[in-house]
Amino acid sequence: MKQTAELGEFLRSRRARLQPGDVGIAPDARARRVAGLRREELSRLAGISTEYYTRLEQGRAGNVSEEILHALAQALRLDQTERAHLMNLASAATGAPRRRSPERPQKVRPGLRHLLETLEHVPAFILGRRTDVLAVNALARTVLTDFDALPATQRNYARYLLLDPAAQERCRDWERTAAETVAMLRLDAGRHPYDRQLTALIGELSVRSPQFPRWWSDHQVRQRTHGHKRYHHPLVGDITFRYECLSPPDDPDQTLCVYTAGPEPSDRENLALLGSWTERDTAPEAGSSHSTTRGSVPQE
């Protein structure tokens, strides 16, 4: 029942954001009792009956063909990420419930870990499912927080961003970044609807973060890609980063995130200062060894 409800809520949220003029429908004199398109308007655009679409929103439609899903995606003006999310939700809603077998821990393969270790002069880290932080280099620990010093079960980017007061002080665009991160969790929830640890994380964030329930109920979905982020670091002040997020073709559930200096000379200068400070702070003592990615993968 929960998965069919997720599908219906997503369809309602996408329908509510469209106005008749957005899809070429002339306004009429009837009062609108709901935001966005009426069910009959959307069903007409998608070429299906209003009765069938109503059953779909209410979780009573049974198996839904790909043809209908594609028609709904077109009518709702979904982007590529939203289309993929719709397909995932429909698959979970109409498929047989899966047995909840223990989830296997995610591991970073040696080649990807080595690539991370070569990125000594920029912040970089690897995220897994539910935004678990699987590996992190020294500069990322300086810019964000020392994830390796946290208990393994708490090394999670969304948890840090939404629950650690220091994150709001560091991240200049905290509200936008946090809302986007919630949208990434939404996408993960569609891909992995039976992930018990993700369910537990969502429950914790719902209780402890005042903003999370509102963002979660928006049903926004977002893929990690690229953009800009602005931070304030107590050692160097403001710094803007360009970031790129890349997933290995053989493991789309892992993402390498790399932050490079922003467009201003001060961004490059401040990043260089942070690098120098981090290098001194993490330099190994005589007779000891040091790795830029210390710590273990979060246990599942």
| Of the residues 62, 94, 126, the one at which a domain ends | 94
Question: Tell me: the pLDDT tens digits for 14-73?
Answer: 999 998 888 888 777 677 777 789 999 999 999 999 999 999 999 887 788 999 999 999
The domain that holds 200 is classified in CATH as 3.30.450.180
Say if residue 148 is in the same domain as residue 271. Answer: yes
300 within a domain of the structure (yes/no): no
Q: Say if residue 136 is in the same domain as residue 56.
A: no
Distance CA 296, CA 300 (A): 12
Give pLDDT, residue 260.
97
Same domain, 74 and 215: no
pTM for this structure? 0.88
Q: What CATH number is associated with residue 11?
A: 1.10.260.40
Please indicate, yes or no, whether residues 72 and 198 belong to a single structural domain of this protein: no
Range of the structural domain that residue 14 is part of: 2-24+36-94
- Taking the alpha carbons of 37, 41, 43, 49 in that order, is the dihedral positive or negative? positive
Same-domain pairing of 132 and 201:
yes
Helical segments of the chain, H only: 2-16, 39-46, 50-57, 66-75, 80-94, 110-118, 138-143, 157-163, 165-170, 174-191, 196-208, 212-217, 265-282
For residues 143 and 259, is the Cβ–Cβ distance under 8 A? Answer: yes
User: What's the confidence (pLDDT) of residue 287?
Assistant: 45
Q: Has residue 285 got a pLDDT over 90? A: no
Q: At what angle do helices 39-46 and 66-75 cross, to 10 degrees?
A: 120
Whether residues 69 and 207 share a domain: the answer is no
pLDDT at 226: 94
- 235 — pLDDT class (breaks 50, 70, 90): very high
